[in-house]
Structure 1
Amino acid sequence: MSDARQVFEHGEHNVRLLSLEPKAATGSSPSPPPKPLLVASPTEEGEYPTLVFLHGYLLYNSFYSQLLHHVASHGFIIVAPQLYLVAGSDCGAEIQSAAAVVEWLADGLIHVLPEHVKSDLSKLAIGGHSRGGKVAFALALGHAKTTLEFSALIGVDPIDGMDKGKQTGPPILTYIPRSFDLKMAALVIGSGLGELKKCPLFPACAPKGVNHQDFFDECRPPAYHFVAKEYGHQDMLDDETRGVRGKATYCLCKKGTSRKPMRAFVGGAMVAFMKSYLEGDTQFLTAIVDDPQISPVELSIATSLELGNQPHLPLARSLRSELVSRMTAGGRRVTVCAKTTVVSMTPVRQGKTYPLSALDHAMGRHTLRLVFYYRPGPTMDKFKLKESLSEVLSQYPAVTGRLAREEEEGGGRGGWVVKCNDAGVRLAEARARVTLDEWLRSADDEEEMELAYWEPMDADPFIWSPFYVQITEFEDKAIAIGLSCPHMHADPTCAILLVRAWSDAHRRDCVVYPPFLHAPAFFPRPQPNPSSPLLSFKSSSTPATHKKGRMSSATFVFSDAAVKSCLADAGLPLDSSPFDALSALFWTRIARASAPEPDAPLGLADLTLCIDFRKRMHAPLPHGFYGNAYHFYPARADLGSGLEHVAAELRRHAAAIREEDFWEAVEWVHERRPGRREGDPPFPMYGPELTCMQMDHQPFAYGAAFEKDGGRPAHMTCRVRGVEGAGLVLVMTAAEEGAARQVVVTLPEEVADSICQDDAIMKYVPVVMFAPSTISRS
C-alpha cells in the first residue's frame, strides 16, 4: 500500500522549471515558441513522456508551478503555455494557439531542455484545468489539427461555459452519453465544491451541466473519474498566487498550505494515469480505483470506465478495435462496460474494526451470488441507484471495509477482521443485449452468473473488495441487481437484507430491517461444550457420493396451487410450511437420479438440513444480525417408504432441534478457528452429503421494492458457490404470493440434467429457469 501512495509524494527526480518568452529564442534555440511557456522537466539524463498542460480562465501558467513540479519529479516533461492574458467567451483562438504549441514541440522543445534530457513525443498527453480542460478536450477531439498524436487526455475540473445552453464557443459537450470519439484514454478530475457558489457576487466556478460530470459522461472507455469531495475548483494551484488574479483565487477557494492535499491528489492522479497509459505501469491507477482511501483527500467518486472486463490496461491504438470486437463476439449477451467504487455517504469512525465470528470463518470455502430482477420504473436509474447505495452503505461499515488478519500472541496468524476504513464496494455497470422476458426464458445457469460480478480474493486482501454489486440494464430498460460476497461475510438472510435495506433507502423510507453488527453474539458460553458429530464428519470427509467435478444449477418455480398439491401428496396440512414437502420431493428424486442403477431400490439415507437460527434462540437476534447465523443439522429417512414418510421424518427432525445443539456446534467451530489450530483449514460446509436449506421462512427477498408504488422483484435468485459432493437444494419464496415457492438446486452435472426432466417433479408443472445449457425448455 505504501508503494501505491508514492505518486502523491514528491518523486525521485530533481526538477528544473524554465520560463520562456517567444522573443527569447536565440541561436541555441532556433525555433521560438509561439506562446510564453513554463517548462518543467527532470534534470537527470533520460527520455521522458511529455504532457502539454493548459491553464484555466484568466489564470497564469505560473500559478501551477508546484503542481507541475510534482508531476515532473515522477519522470515527465510538462509544457505549460500562457495562451492569453485577456480573453473573451470564445475559445477558438486558444484552441489554435494550443495546437501551435503542440506543433512546436517536435523542433523546438529539445533546445530548451536540460542537457542529455530528451522528450519522447511518441508518448504525448494533453491536459488542462477549467477552461483549459475544455481546450484540451477540443484538441483531443480534432478541433485543430496537429501532426503529433496524443495518447492520453487529462481534464482537471473542466468546464464548458456558464450553464447548459450557455456554453462558450465552440461547444464541446453534446449531452449524448459516450459520444466523445477520443481514440485515447481519458482522466477527468472534479472538485466536490466547484459547483457551489462561494460568494453571492460570483457564479459557481464549475456549474452543474457543464462540469466534470458532464465531460466524463460523454467519455468512452477507457476513462477514469475522480472527485475530491471537500475541495474547490482552484485548490490545486500554488500555495501563493500573486497579483490581483492570484488574490481573487483566495476569495473563491482555499489558500496557502491548505491547498497542499488537493494539489498532491491531482498531481498523484495525473502521474498514476500517465504511468498507466504512457508507460504501461498500471499498479498506481489500479490502486486508486480499488482503494480510494489511499488518496490524500476524501473522494466522493472513484470511477473507472473500462473496456469489457479488462481493467486498467494501456491499449495501443492498433489493438483497440480488436478488443472492442472481442467484447461482443461469441454470442455473449452481457457486457460489463464500467466499474466504480461506491463509498458510504457518512464516514466511519477512524480505527473501527469488526471481527468475523467462528461461524463466519467456517464458511470460508464458499461465496454467495444473488440476482434481483426488476421491471422498468421511473426511479430505476443507475445514477439514482448508486446514490441510494452510497446512503445505505453508511449503515454497513463492515461491507465497505477490507479484510485483515488479527495478530495472535507469539506472532501467529489469527482470524479475519474487517478494517472498517470506508474503502467502498466495487460496482459494475453492464448491458444485456436482450429484454428481461427473453432473458428469463432463455438464459442458462452459467449465463445468469454474468449478472453478479465477482473477483476472487487478491494476494493482498487489504485492497480487495469483498462485496461486488452489478447493475445490468436490459434492452427494455429493465434492471438486474447482482450482489456477490464471501459467505464468511454474510449468510443468505444477511445478504438479502442488504439489498432490502438499499431498496428502502432508495424509496426514502425507513430501513425496515437495519443491520445489527454485534460480533460477541456467538462467543462461546462461560462453560462451553464443543460438540458436533455432523461438522466433525464434514471436516474429515471427501466427496464420495460423486467424483469432484462440474456442478450445474437450475431453478424450479412452483405455483401456489402446485405447492398445495405437493403438500397434500406429502400428507401435510395445507397451512404448513412447504419446505418439508419440497425438500422430501427433491431429496428422493435426487437420490433416484444418483443411484448407480435406474431401478435400484432406495433405502435409508442421510441429509443435512440448514435453517436460520436468528429467531430460534431463547434470546433471539434481530433479523438484521450481520454475519452467519444458519445451523446445519442431520436428518435420516428411508427414501423407499414414499414421499409422505420422508416429509414426516423431516418434520420430526426439525421439531427436535435444541438450542443446545446450535451452541455446541458454535463452540466446536470456535475451537477450530484460525490461530487456535493452524492445521484446520476451512472445509466444505455444503457437502459431501446433500444439503437442503430453508430460505422461505420470511418473504424478505420479494420485499426489496425500489419503487414507491409496487416495483417488487419480478424474480430473485440465490446461489452458493463452492458446493461439493451430492449438492445443495435451496427452498425460497417466489414472486407469486401465498404458498408459491422456488427451488434452486446446485448438483453434479449429470444429476442436474436428470432432475430437470424428472417426471415426479414435472408432475407439479414447475417453470424451469436458468437450467444447464444441455436442457431443452421448449
Structure 2
Amino acid sequence: MVSPPMDSKTLIYDVKVSSIGPADVTGSDLIYEPDNLDLAMKLHYLRGVYYFRSQAFDGLSTLVIKEPMFLWLNKYPMTCGRFRRSDDHSGRPYIKCNDCGVRFIEAKSDKTLDDWFQIKDKDVSLEKVLVPNQYIGPELGFSPLVFVQLTKFKCGGTALSLSWAHVLGDAFSVAKFMNSLGHAVAGHELGEPVDLSKTLTKSIGTNSSTNFGDDPLSVKRVSPVGDNWVNTAKVQMEEFSFNITPTLLKHLNSKFNPSGPQFSPFELISAVIWQCIARIRGEEGQPNIVTICKKSEGNKASGALGNKQLVSVVKADISVASANLGELASMMQNNALEENKKIDEAIEREEALADFILYGANLTFVDLEGSPFYEVEFRGQKPENVSYRIEGVGDQGVILVHPAPKDERRNIMVILPENEVTELKSELEREGLIA
C-alpha cells in the first residue's frame, strides 16, 4: 500500500517569531561593505540544518538558549544589519550595522528525531519546514539577513537551523559563524568583533584604460531584480540527497584508474554525476563546461566572513557522456581554471548594479571537504546529522558534496530540474552509487 504524501504544514506547530541582536550597541554610523564577489552571490541563500539528540537542548528554556546568542552576535554586527544603497550614482549596496538583529523562530514537532530522519530520507524537500525560506527584499531596509530556527522534537531532540544570505559569506563562513555560537553557549570568550574598518569603500566606475579581460564563464547575468533579491529558475527545481560509503569510494577509485593517480572523493563522485547528467541531457545539451567551488586559503582566516571560496571552471573538449570516468576526474583535478578575479572584474565593470547567479549558471559542483559542520557543540553534544542546501540555483543545477560524521561517508545534495531527477536516480543506480 502506498503511503499518502506528507503534508509539510502538519510537521511543525506552535511557531513563534522574535528578534535577537548584539548585547552591546554597535553604533549607527558603522557600515559593512560587501566586496565584488560577495555581491555576485547576492541572489543565493544557504539553508543549513543541524540535528542534535536530546542531551544538547532538552530541558532548557527558550530564554536560556537565546541568552548566549546576544553575546555571539557582538562578534558579527554585519549579520544584524540591513542593506542600504549608496547615495552616489552607483547605488552600490552596503550593510548599515544598526543592530536590527536576526530573526529567531521557535517551533515544535510531534515527530521523534528518528521519525524525522525517515521522513526526510523519503522526501528531503520536507526538510524546508525546519528552515525559514526568506529572501532579501523587496524593501532592503527591512529585510533580515539571517534567520535562526529551533525546532524541538517529541523525543527531546532538536533541529537548529540557519537561513543565511550568501552575500555575507560562503558555507565555510557559515560553519565559523555556527561554531562560534557553540563557543558562546559554553561560556568561552569569542574575541573582538570583526574589524569592519578593513572593509574599504570600493572604487566605483569603469576605468577605460583598464583591461578587464574575458567575461567569466562561471557566472550568468539574469534579468534585473532591483531590490527584490530573488532568482527564479526557468524550470521547477527538485532536490534529493544520498550518501556514499568509504567502501564504495574505494571501489570507484579502482574502477576509474586502478594503476594511476588517486582521486579525491569529491572528484570521484563529481565525475560520475557529471557523466550521468550528460547522458540525460544528450549530445545537444550535455554540460561541457562545469563550475567547481572549493575551500580557499582565505577561508582559514580566523573569524573572517566573506565569499572566499575558489571558483573555477572545467571545459571538456570531448563527449562527456561517453568519456572515460578517469579522464573526467583528471580534468577536475588538473584542468580547473580559477575565475575569482574575472568575477571581481565583471562586477566592477558593471558598477555592482548588474545581477548574476553562480550556482546553476553551469552545472556546479561544490566541494565542502574541510567544512567544520560537525565541530559545533552544545552541552558537549555534536550534531547527529547536518544538511545544507542552496536556494536561488539556476536551471543547470548544483551538486553539494560534504563529509558525514561517521566512517568517512560523503553526503550528496542534488538540486536539478525536476524532469531530470528520476532519470538521474536511475543512472546513479546503474552506476552503483544508490540502491
Alpha-carbon contact 1:497-1:513 (below 8 Å) kept: no
Aligned with 1:549 (options 235, 238, 241): 235
Alpha-carbon contact 2:278-2:287 (below 8 Å) kept: no
Alignment-derived partner of residue 398 in structure 2: 728
Alignment-derived partner of residue 705 in structure 1: 377
Q: Deviation of residue 761 (structure 1)?
A: 6.4
| Aligned partner of residue 383 in structure 1, secondary structure | helix
Q: How does 1:41-80 map to 2 (within 5 A)?
A: none
- 1:569 counterpart = 2:241: no
Amino acid at match of 1:472: T
Alignment-derived partner of residue 763 in structure 1: 432
Alpha-carbon contact 2:403-2:410 (below 8 Å) kept: yes
- Could you list the per-position Cα deviations for residues 176-198 of structure 1 after superposition, in whole angstroms to 9, with x for gaps in the alignment? xxxxxxxxxxxxxxxxxxxxxxx
Q: Deviation of residue 603 (structure 1)?
A: 7.5
| Aligned partner of residue 335 in structure 2, secondary structure | helix
- With the length of structure 2 as denominator, give the TM-score of the two structures: 0.84
Which structure has more relative contact order (CA 8 Å, sep 6+)? It is: 2
Alpha-carbon contact 1:534-1:633 (below 8 Å) kept: no
- 1:476 counterpart = 2:155: yes
Alpha-carbon contact 1:553-1:745 (below 8 Å) kept: yes
Q: Deviation of residue 499 (structure 1)?
A: 1.1
Q: How does 1:266-285 map to 2 (within 5 A)?
A: none
Once residues 610 and 512 of structure 1 are traced to their aligned partners in structure 2, the CA distance between those partners, rounded to angstroms, is 30
Q: How does 1:425-504 map to 2 (within 5 A)?
A: 425-443=102-120, 444-504=123-183
Q: How does 1:378-389 map to 2 (within 5 A)?
A: 378-379=56-57, 381=60, 382-389=62-69
Alignment-derived partner of residue 210 in structure 1: none
- 1:354 counterpart = 2:354: no
| Aligned partner of residue 456 in structure 1, secondary structure | coil
Aligned with 2:281 (options 573, 582, 594): 594
Deviates more, 1:394-403 or 1:373-382: 373-382
Q: Deviation of residue 557 (structure 1)?
A: 1.4
Alpha-carbon contact 2:222-2:357 (below 8 Å) kept: no
Alignment-derived partner of residue 67 in structure 1: none
Q: Deviation of residue 347 (structure 1)?
A: 2.0
Alignment-derived partner of residue 325 in structure 2: 643
- 1:371 counterpart = 2:54: no
Q: Deviation of residue 721 (structure 1)?
A: 0.9
Count of aligned residue pairs for this structure pair: 410
Alignment-derived partner of residue 584 in structure 1: 271
Amino acid at match of 2:20: V
Aligned with 1:610 (options 293, 296, 318): 293
- 1:519 counterpart = 2:206: no
Cα gap change, 1:513 to 1:439, in 2 (>3 Å): farther
- Could you list the per-position Cα deviations for residues 117-136 of structure 1 after superposition, in whole angstroms to 9, with x for gaps in the alignment? xxxxxxxxxxxxxxxxxxxx
Alpha-carbon contact 1:424-1:465 (below 8 Å) kept: yes
Q: Deviation of residue 413 (structure 1)?
A: 4.9
Cα gap change, 1:445 to 1:532, in 2 (>3 Å): farther
Taking only aligned residues, the RMSD between alpha carbons, in angstroms, comes to: 3.2
Amino acid at match of 2:50: F
| Aligned partner of residue 422 in structure 1, secondary structure | coil
Alpha-carbon contact 1:361-1:673 (below 8 Å) kept: no
Q: Deviation of residue 495 (structure 1)?
A: 1.7
| Aligned partner of residue 422 in structure 2, secondary structure | helix
Alignment-derived partner of residue 687 in structure 1: 360
Alignment-derived partner of residue 338 in structure 1: 16
- Could you list the per-position Cα deviations for residues 718-741 of structure 1 after superposition, in whole angstroms to 9, with x for gaps in the alignment? 111111222001111112243x21
Once residues 191 and 246 of structure 2 are traced to their aligned partners in structure 1, the CA distance between those partners, rounded to angstroms, is 27
- With the length of structure 1 as denominator, give the TM-score of the two structures: 0.49
| Aligned partner of residue 398 in structure 1, secondary structure | helix
Alpha-carbon contact 1:606-1:634 (below 8 Å) kept: yes
| Aligned partner of residue 315 in structure 2, secondary structure | strand
Amino acid at match of 1:593: I
| Aligned partner of residue 428 in structure 1, secondary structure | strand
Once residues 631 and 521 of structure 1 are traced to their aligned partners in structure 2, the CA distance between those partners, rounded to angstroms, is 23
Once residues 564 and 422 of structure 1 are traced to their aligned partners in structure 2, the CA distance between those partners, rounded to angstroms, is 50
Alpha-carbon contact 1:401-1:421 (below 8 Å) kept: yes
| Aligned partner of residue 414 in structure 1, secondary structure | coil
Q: Deviation of residue 349 (structure 1)?
A: 3.5
Alpha-carbon contact 1:562-1:765 (below 8 Å) kept: no
Q: Which runs of 5+ in 2 are unaligned?
A: 1-5, 224-232
Once residues 540 and 413 of structure 1 are traced to their aligned partners in structure 2, the CA distance between those partners, rounded to angstroms, is 19
Alignment-derived partner of residue 715 in structure 1: 385
Q: Deviation of residue 612 (structure 1)?
A: 3.1
Once residues 623 and 591 of structure 1 are traced to their aligned partners in structure 2, the CA distance between those partners, rounded to angstroms, is 40
Q: Which runs of 5+ in 1 are unaligned?
A: 1-327, 542-546, 767-778
Alignment-derived partner of residue 653 in structure 1: 335
Q: How does 1:112-151 map to 2 (within 5 A)?
A: none
Amino acid at match of 2:165: P
Q: Deviation of residue 463 (structure 1)?
A: 2.4
